[in-house]
Amino acid sequence: MTEVTEELVYQRPESLTQVHTHYCPGCTHGTAHRLVGEVLDELNVRGRTIGIAPVGCSVLAYYYFDVDFAEAAHGRAPAMATGMKRTHPDKVIFTYQGDGDLAAIGTGEIVHAAGRGENITVIFINNAIYGMTGGQMAPTTLEDQKTSSSPLGRDVSIAGYPLRMCELLATLDGAAYISRQSLHDVRHIRRAKKAILTAFKTQMAGLGFSMVELLSTCSTNWKMDPVESLEWLRDNMIPYFPLGDFKVAEAVKEL
């Protein structure tokens, strides 16, 4: 009788709960959760981590992460994170925010948190649309992109141009590490994890504000199947939102 041995090649991060997802088929929120969970495990900080989820598809992040979590009003996660980090400097504090939250109602919060150099980490999910509320145009919606509130496509003469948050925040002296990555294929997912790891290390070293923007899909509101949405991200979002590190403080390079 042949003896069969099995080798464990992957298991769910301890920082994630064992629950079924509520996200739509093809949504990359789950991938982002997994990467953050893996990083928290590898840094061995699960017991002293606090996450903050504001309004949007990200609001149920506390359901998936097995760490302490708080829920913030729409756009106010950076303010809540500021208070938590200042009163509990030994904790690892991160926000998990979408583009409708961070780049719209929360623009002032994120800009000033970065400007002050708050020692927090921000995970920014950019899927170029309001996902939770019906697929309306977001600050990151691309020119001519059709949404439920721009059925003919985004008209930049009326709505202005999509905001590039990494480029904006990278100009602020308080920002220590600002990176934009993508979740559309395995190679880029690996790069995204490396950026998330650097962002948390930046906070743990007390170097200031860090943010990782993750280009993501919204198959339901884009009205595409999962594979088509990944291809659309690659072909349309990356040309406008180029990938890479936009701010790496000298001290961060030594981590």
Domains and CATH numbers, the chain: 29-253 (3.40.50.970)
- When pLDDT is cut at 50, 70 and 90, the band that residue 243 belongs to is very high
Give 36-89 pLDDT, tens digit per residue.
999 999 999 999 999 999 998 888 899 999 999 999 999 999 999 999 999 999
Please state, for a pLDDT cut of 90, what percent of the chain lies above it: 90
pLDDT band at 121 (very low <50, low <70, confident <90, very high): very high
Going by their DSSP bridges, the two strands 68-71 and 121-126 should be labelled as unpaired
- Identify the pLDDT of residue 11: 87
Q: Give the DSSP letter of residue 166.
A: H
Question: What are the backbone dihedrals phi and psi of residue 121, each rounded to the nearest 5 degrees, phi first?
Answer: -120, 135
Residues paired with 234 in a beta bridge: none
pLDDT digits (tens, 9 = 90+) for 140-186: 999 999 999 999 999 999 999 999 999 999 999 999 999 999 999 99
| pLDDT score at 124 | 98
58: DSSP letter: G
Euclidean distance between the first and the last CA atom of the chain, given in angstroms as a whole number: 51
Helix, coil or strand: residue 237: helix
Helix spans in the chain (H): 29-43, 61-64, 77-87, 99-100, 107-116, 156-159, 165-169, 186-204, 219-222, 226-232, 238-240, 250-253
pLDDT given at position 235: 98
Going along the chain, which residue ranges are E strands? 49-53, 68-71, 92-98, 121-126, 175-182, 209-215, 244-248
The residues pairing with 154 across neighbouring beta strands, listed in sequence order, are 143
> C-alpha angle 14/254/195, rounded to 5°?
45
pLDDT digits (tens, 9 = 90+) for 85-98: 999 999 999 999 99
pLDDT for position 133: 85
Q: Which two three-digit tokens encode residue 126?
A: 């950019």
Q: What is the pLDDT, as a whole number, of residue 14? A: 94
Mean pLDDT score, 217-225: 95
- Residue 1 scores a pLDDT above 80: no
Chain segment 130-142, per-residue pLDDT in tens: 988 888 999 999 9
Average pLDDT of the chain? 95
User: Which residue spans within 162-208 are E strands per DSSP?
Assistant: 175-182
pLDDT given for residue 52 in this prediction = 97
Q: Is the pLDDT of residue 9 over 90?
A: no
